[in-house]
Amino acid sequence: MKKIIIIAVLALTATSCYNVERNCKDFKTGAFQFKYEVDGVKKISNFVRNDTLEMGTFEGKAYSSTVRWVNDCEYILQRINPKNIAEGKAIQMNILSTTENSYTFEFSNIGDSKKQKGTVTKIK
């Protein structure tokens, strides 16, 4: 029993000292690349973002979206001139962690509980 308590205390101490790096301000603007896989096929999406606008390509199609920052690590994307209802849904983006040139994020349509994750690399 004594060993279990000691192990539990050590585990809690080790995990409470771990801080995830989140320098989100470094990724508010710039040129980025998002690599992802759909049905076993690797794809690349490039985009450019400033404080209020994001433009790029997704699955070979050009898009433009407004960007509204909720806080330094969370923003909402809203497609400009959507072609259908699905494209018109706003997407909530949340930066979970950062490195020197990339960030890991989770995203979902607003109101949707199913979240997906991805990693973006800053190329400029």
- Could you state, in order of their start, the residue ranges of all structural domains in the chain? 20-122
- Say what the pLDDT of residue 102 is: 95
Cα–Cα–Cα angle for 60, 84, 73, rounded to 5 degrees: 70
The pLDDT value given to residue 58: 80
Which CATH architecture describes the domain 20-122?
Beta Barrel (2.40)
Per-residue pLDDT, 91:
94
Are the C-beta atoms of residues 49 and 32 closer than 8 Å to each other? yes
Question: Is residue 6's pLDDT more than 90?
Answer: no
pLDDT, tens digit (0-9, with 9 covering 90-100), for 32-88: 998 887 788 888 889 999 989 999 988 788 999 999 999 999 999 999 999 899 888
**Phi, psi of 104, rounded to the nearest 5 degrees:** -105, 135
Residue 3 binned pLDDT confidence (cut-offs 50, 70, 90): low
36 versus 31: the higher-pLDDT residue is 31
How far, in Å, CA of 70 to CA of 63, rounded? 22
Percentages helix, strand, coil for the chain (3-state, rounded to 5) are 20, 50, 30
| Range name among 12-16, 20-24, 78-82 with the lowest pLDDT average | 12-16
Q: Is the pLDDT of residue 18 over 60?
A: no
109-123 per-position pLDDT tens digit:
998 888 888 899 999
